Structure 1
Amino acid sequence: MMKIVIRNYWVVATFLLAFQWVTHGQMAEKASPVIENGEAQVVEAFSDPSKWIRHDLWVETTFDSDGDGELDRMHVDVTRPEQTDTENLKLPVIYESSPYYAGTAGMDKGIFWDVQHEIGEAGKPRKHPEVTRVGERPIISNSQIRTWVPRGFIVVHSSSPGTGLSDGAPTVGGDNESLAPKAVIDWLNGRAKGYTERDGNKEVKAYWSTGKVGMTGTSYNGTIPLAAATTGVEGLEAIIPIAPNTSYYHYYRSNGLVRSPGGYLGEDIDVLYDFIHSGDESKRARNNKVVRDTEMKNGLDRITGDYNDFWAKRDYLNDMKPMKAALLMSHGFNDWNVMPEHSYRIYKKAKEMGLPVRIYYHQNGHGGPPPLSMMNRWFTRYLYGIENGIEDEPKAWIVRENDKKDDPTPYADYPNPEAEYITLFLTKGAPSKGELTTLKAKKQGTETLVDNYSFSGTSLAKAETTEHRLLYVTSPLEDDVHISGVPKIKIKLASNKPAANLSVWLVSLPWSDALNTKITDNIITRGWADPQNHSSLTESKPLIPNKFYEMEFELMPDDQIIPKGQQIGLMIFSSDKEFTLWPEPGTKLTVDLDETELILPIVGGKL
């Protein structure tokens, strides 16, 4: 039984009190969680690590993903206050799962796909590294523990299928990666079996769990909470995914284009498979044959980049119908690894479903959790059931450009409800700069760029004149301009070859190279697309040389204030050295300026 001490009396709730008799007939109060101002507080009785109980076990799942004829078991560890034994205290659980806990493959250059080849051709064969498993029982990970155990939560970790001491095969977004954490949550609620040994029959019960579970984690570790939530598992009350990959297609492709995540040129889903495959060495050959060399090889399609059934099965947006968990999303607008569209698309859908949702955005790169107070209030509300008023707070919290990450600005929603789309048109100016204006000029004709991957996007944006990009800029801004939402581009273009990369950057000029330059100073947002997919994401068609095609696609979501005096620039180019394939230089893209538009979401609707 559990007592919760509440120090803010405006909270209305009923709680059970538990006491125990001690020597001399005196009544002593048991150690209990303390809630103050809607947050779980650090409790001295829970704060001594030497008194924490730490143990591990294996939870039996409902699947056999390594094909050995036995249901896979997931390796799980538990860290809990001693009072869960000495005082029969039951507490809620903070749970993080990962494929990374037991070690990963090295980042040898050969592990990645070669990107220096023509679009539509296969790259050179790549290396398949072996992962050397690390870690000692009973500790799988120490993440989350020092934050949450002293505040009256139990912390649980698990290694995902085919990693560490967990059975199974890594599938990188397959169903088993959703069902594995579901099984652990079922065990925490008494609906699945746990065992003291990987191959043993001695059961272990989660008698110390209230059954209320919250999940969190960053990147892949942030994907797994969403994966678990899409199963609709009872007991998973709240999740806080941080920079989660919510669609492996959106991670490795962009509007039909083969496009790497930032910082990992040549990565693809089979590369990530090799990187995390730290499970049972005796099962790896079979897993490689079935998963990597068959399912992934046949489905990933680096030739066309089309969206297909393989990718659809690894898109959590398609699986959200059963989801019930309260969702607090966190992401950086300048995360060019797991890009901010990943969180926005899930937040938007969860909101449409009527789920409790909040979103926290900052201006930095990959990772970055919400402020601890925000996370605490989220978990306290949904795991302890404390009516702390969080439902009445603004839906969106955005860290402004010069603010600290723990000091976000509240907004009614994201995108900002005051944002309106405005359309900007192009006037000619190549090879220097054309204009970007709200007034459409007639008969601007066409302008042509020449692809050359050896020039980075940064160098192209800084160049005063170059034939390798087209650049269109606004007049210097008379006032600060607040962009909030998802910019779009409509473009009409032709290629002199059957295939070409298309890259678009939205930049703030003049470009700053100062030592104190912030991540928001130069690049506003970006986007990529395959002109061969101009009419369908699921079917590429070779371009007829020099024939014009129309297409429309979104850039990455953003919320940024461009300061007065800067100019907003639309840069159109072909191969993006840091993200796309590197075909032989020389492909020419011709853009019809009269039929090309940039659509920007501007707060106040005025540029």
Structure 2
Amino acid sequence: MNLRPIIDLPDEPIVLSDGTRLSARIWRPEDADTDPVPAILEFLPYRKRDGTVARDVLTHPWFARRGYAGVRVDMRGNGDSEGVMEDEYTPQELADAVEVIHWLAAQPWCSGAVGMMGISWGGFNALQVAALRPAPLKAIITLCSTVDRYADDIHYKGGCLLNENLGWGATMWSFSSRPPDPALVGDKWRDMWLERLEAEPFLPALWLRHQSRDAYWRHGSVCEDFGAIEAAVLAVGGWNDAYKNAVPALVENLQAPVKGIIGPWVHKYPHFAVPGPRIGFLQEAVRWWDKWLKGIETGVEEDPDLRLYLMDGVRPATSYDYRQGRWLGLSKGSFAGLGRRRLHLGTNGRLTDTPERIDALLASPQHTGAAAGEYCAIWLGPELPGDQRPDDALSLCFDAPPATQAMNIVGAPEVTLRLASDQLQGQIAVRLCHVHPDGASTRITYGVLNLSHRAGHAAPAPLPVGTPVEVTLALDHIAYRLPAGHRLRLAISSAYWPLIWPAPTATRLTLLDGRLDLPLCPDDAGTEPHFLPAETEPPWPARELRPPANSRVQSTDLGSGSVSLEIIDDFGEFEDMDHGLITGSVAREWWEIHPDDPLSARGRTHWTETLRRADWSVRTETTSQMWSDSSFFYIEARLEAWEGEDMIREKTIKATIPRSEI
């Protein structure tokens, strides 16, 4: 392929119909005015100038050299774009994206065909915009995204409140508090900054006011109408990321052309993600774009519907550089057609082939879950689930006999339990673990359920005290090979802190019987696809002034008995060698609970963001905390904005929010 010389335009204005100016960075071939190219849009609030620049420069110029325009747009109210942002995935955000798509298609350097790509937020809104069907949008690539904003995002899981609701909301509180770069927007930078500081909401309080799957969450959940999407969809995810379930859901349900890839990765693009193996994601993307944006036959339609990385069983660790395994190509509908094995919960902590009645008390200490790792592994610190033995010791565990032959678990295991409760509310966490011959325990996959949501997330209902109920929950999708001679363990707890917020009562559950349905894949199933090696553009030209560092420390107060987790992610400080902007960021979180008291739960965050160049410097300090009693959640958040040594704005937000079956 002949690579085309490109130009890099750091601040192209896109003026929307209401007069708001969005800032775009565009990489495109030099000769695109005479030989137009399709455009690939990535539409984010994460600041192209200093937020996602390190990954953007690895990706968009690579596309541009191969006959595309890579377009990175700061959303309204973020980075170098005007306006204010009120929430995630609002009708305004999606309408802005549609306007941007039409603007791109109308440019003289654009062929009129547009693709949309993104990871996480950008993967979400790519799906949501595709459901609106703007005519120029022919294809999307969505990575680490969701089809259901309530059931499979950072807010709620299984009807349980995820602590990531506070953690990620505090992240956005910090991200969106930063000003635009005066070198791009000029003297109006301060007015733009003050406008966004004045208007910026603390989103966890808004999200917490919607504790069931209501109209707020149905908006933007493409599972409401998969048929609305007509653009071709390439869906990509990682087994060590929170967002792996969307890929099978899209492949199974979309009527539009669709393919899926799931590797062993955390929440990163696959051409630079860990754990390895990385793949030639950019080459895969160009195959997709060439077919759907240029009409070139590249063979993508003949690819397996799902290309999954079947991970070999591994000893537990909080991070991995590489996961051994092999790629597996499966056809649409193959999950339903795979073999299944049913195991039953038996007496004396056994998983058996025949049903047994059990009568087991489940009353886990509130700090059960300390080995869960991060909900969404992203920052590359010690984030993955470690050895599960500490949590296993606080849970009801049921072990299968050693496997007589290797077992390929591919799909979403399902667990059904019959239980009774002594309280109106409660929760369960179910972990499927790989137990090694020496007793080490690796979490394979897991699920959680708010028992008030046992019949669905739209209309939760209290538990009938003392009356047995049957509940079913699907664990997260996975592809994992259990070696011969090793055991499967099903571990069940009534708490999973600090991943989920505790129920308001220390509920005691009686487990009466249950079963585990395992999706199994024969060794000879499917095909073994191959990928080209990962390629990228040269890395971001930056000078490191302070190195990044990550730490996670668990501790117990031997006086009070409280258990705490401290998380510190120092993202370092870097100088951009192209334009001299120096950026720094430090995130801190603290999670504390007493093993005997669910109402002792408390989460706190503190972010520091700095920007400076020559004699100009700004800083924001954002803090938040959350606690609860049996009736209410309490949230406080504070923002301080500093210009040099002067604090130019401070604001405090307080909210008291009733608990509703959660």
State the distance in 1 between where 2:511 and 2:78 align. Answer: 48
Matching of residue 477 in structure 1 with residue 403 in structure 2 = yes
Q: Which runs of 5 or more residues in structure 1 are unaligned? A: 1-40, 63-69, 104-133, 191-205, 515-520
> Which residue of 485, 490, 495 corresponds with 1:565?
485
1:154-195 superposed Cα distances (whole Å, 9 cap, x missing partner): 1111111221214342421222222222111101222xxxxx
Q: 1:471 Cα shift?
A: 0.8
What residue is the counterpart of 1:427 in the other structure?
346
What residue is the counterpart of 1:343 in the other structure?
247
- Name the SS for the 1:145 alignment partner: helix
> Which residue of 229, 238, 252 corresponds with 2:139?
238
Matching of residue 259 in structure 1 with residue 162 in structure 2 = yes
> Which residue of 427, 430, 437 corresponds with 1:504?
430
Q: 1:358 Cα shift?
A: 0.7
State the distance in 2 between where 1:461 and 1:55 align. Answer: 47
Q: Give the conservation status (yes or no) of the 8 Å contact 1:490–1:598.
A: yes
1:360-400 superposed Cα distances (whole Å, 9 cap, x missing partner): 01123222436333222111111221112221221111123
> Which residue of 476, 491, 516 corresponds with 2:417?
491
1:186-236 superposed Cα distances (whole Å, 9 cap, x missing partner): 01222xxxxxxxxxxxxxxx1010011222222222223222212111122
Q: 1:326 Cα shift?
A: 0.9
Q: 1:416 Cα shift?
A: 4.3
Alignment of 1:23-102 (within 5 A): 41-43=1-3, 46-47=4-5, 52-54=7-9, 56-61=11-16, 70-85=18-33, 88-101=34-47
State the distance in 1 between where 2:288 and 2:469 align. Answer: 48
What residue is the counterpart of 1:363 in the other structure?
264
What residue is the counterpart of 2:309 in the other structure?
399
State the distance in 2 between where 1:256 and 1:157 align. Answer: 35
What residue is the counterpart of 1:385 in the other structure?
295
State the distance in 1 between where 2:346 and 2:199 align. Answer: 55
Q: 1:58 Cα shift?
A: 3.1
State the AA in 1 paired with 2:366: Y
C-alpha distance 152-536 of structure 1, shift in aligned 2 (>3 A) = closer
Matching of residue 540 in structure 1 with residue 422 in structure 2 = no
State the AA in 1 paired with 2:14: V
Q: Give the conservation status (yes or no) of the 8 Å contact 2:251–2:306.
A: no
Q: 1:359 Cα shift?
A: 0.5
Q: 1:237 Cα shift?
A: 1.6
Q: How many residues are paired up? A: 477
- Name the SS for the 2:132 alignment partner: coil
State the distance in 1 between where 2:478 and 2:392 align. Answer: 28
Q: Give the conservation status (yes or no) of the 8 Å contact 2:8–2:25.
A: no
What residue is the counterpart of 2:608 in the other structure?
none
> Which residue of 281, 287, 311 corresponds with 2:193?
281
Q: 1:306 Cα shift?
A: 1.6
1:400-457 superposed Cα distances (whole Å, 9 cap, x missing partner): 326879973322246446513332211022xxxx11122223xx23101222122336
> Which residue of 156, 164, 175 corresponds with 2:91?
175
> Which residue of 125, 140, 152 corresponds with 2:67?
152
Alignment of 1:201-216 (within 5 A): 206-216=107-117
- Name the SS for the 1:577 alignment partner: coil
Q: Give the conservation status (yes or no) of the 8 Å contact 2:363–2:507.
A: yes
Matching of residue 525 in structure 1 with residue 432 in structure 2 = no
Q: 1:297 Cα shift?
A: 4.4
Q: TM-score, normalised by structure 2?
A: 0.65
Q: 1:284 Cα shift?
A: 3.1
State the distance in 2 between where 1:601 and 1:80 align. Answer: 46
State the distance in 1 between where 2:503 and 2:301 align. Answer: 51
Alignment of 1:122-137 (within 5 A): none
Percent of residue pairs bearing the same amino acid type: 21
Alignment of 1:293-308 (within 5 A): 297=205, 300-301=208-209, 305-308=211-214
What residue is the counterpart of 1:188 in the other structure?
104
What residue is the counterpart of 1:411 in the other structure?
330
Q: Give the conservation status (yes or no) of the 8 Å contact 2:28–2:65.
A: no
Q: 1:97 Cα shift?
A: 1.6
Instruction: Please identify which structure carries the higher strand content.
Output: 2
Q: 1:90 Cα shift?
A: 0.8
Q: Give the conservation status (yes or no) of the 8 Å contact 2:128–2:221.
A: no
Matching of residue 334 in structure 1 with residue 237 in structure 2 = no
- Name the SS for the 2:43 alignment partner: strand
> Which residue of 122, 145, 162 corresponds with 1:221?
122
- Name the SS for the 1:83 alignment partner: coil
Q: Give the conservation status (yes or no) of the 8 Å contact 1:414–1:484.
A: no
Q: TM-score, normalised by structure 1?
A: 0.71
State the distance in 1 between where 2:341 and 2:85 align. Answer: 48
Q: Give the conservation status (yes or no) of the 8 Å contact 1:494–1:591.
A: yes
Give the structure with higher Rg (CA). 1
C-alpha distance 216-405 of structure 1, shift in aligned 2 (>3 A) = farther
What residue is the counterpart of 1:38 in the other structure?
none
State the distance in 2 between where 1:605 and 1:425 align. Answer: 24
C-alpha distance 268-301 of structure 1, shift in aligned 2 (>3 A) = farther
What residue is the counterpart of 2:519 in the other structure?
601
- Name the SS for the 2:32 alignment partner: helix
State the AA in 2 paired with 1:177: E
Q: Give the conservation status (yes or no) of the 8 Å contact 1:218–1:241.
A: yes
Q: 1:605 Cα shift?
A: 12
What residue is the counterpart of 2:654 in the other structure?
none
